[in-house]
Amino acid sequence: MAPKNPNQLERSATHLIHRVGQCATDIFQVEARTSGLTPRQFAVLTTIAEEEGLTQTDLVERTGIDRSTLADIVARLLSRGLINRRRAREDARAYAIKLTAQGWKGLRDAEPGAAAADSRLLAALPPAKRQEFLDILHTIVSAARK
């Protein structure tokens, strides 16, 4: 059965945001391939670098990555020697996460590729619209958190 409106998906914000996310991941993997990091791993390392000693709960809140996926990412980063964790002073049940020297190097090595991925994504828009687009995305993410 044919859809009622053949352009329905082209007008679906949910579908288009999902597709943009897929494109962003693909571009990141090409641009930052030598780092061996995924976009989510890069986001976690960047967040830790901005504020070392965060717990996994803090990382869930700051990155928007669900708890079980974040636990898997942390396990992978630990096994690669990019982060370490120790019991948090404030809550002995939680772990405070920090970058290792190797993690700092991995993050520095990945940053040019991540920046190139962002540039490639935004290049589809006229320069005058790029900041507006980022602001709109931020507005959507902020509203969805409430």
Task: Indicate the domain borders of the chain.
Answer: 25-145
Helix, strand or coil, per DSSP, at residue 89: coil
CATH 1.10.1040.50 fits 25-145, yes or no: no
Q: What is the pLDDT of residues 26-48, one digit of tens each?
A: 999 999 999 999 999 999 999 99
CA distance 28 to 118: 8
Residue of 100, 68, 69, 73 whose CA lies nearest to 84: 100
pTM score, whole prediction: 0.88
* Predicted confidence (pLDDT) at residue 141 exceeds the cutoff of 60: yes
Residue of 133, 114, 142 whose CA lies nearest to 43: 114
CA distance 31 to 12: 28
Residue 113, number of CB atoms within 10 A of its CB = 20
CA distance 131 to 20: 17
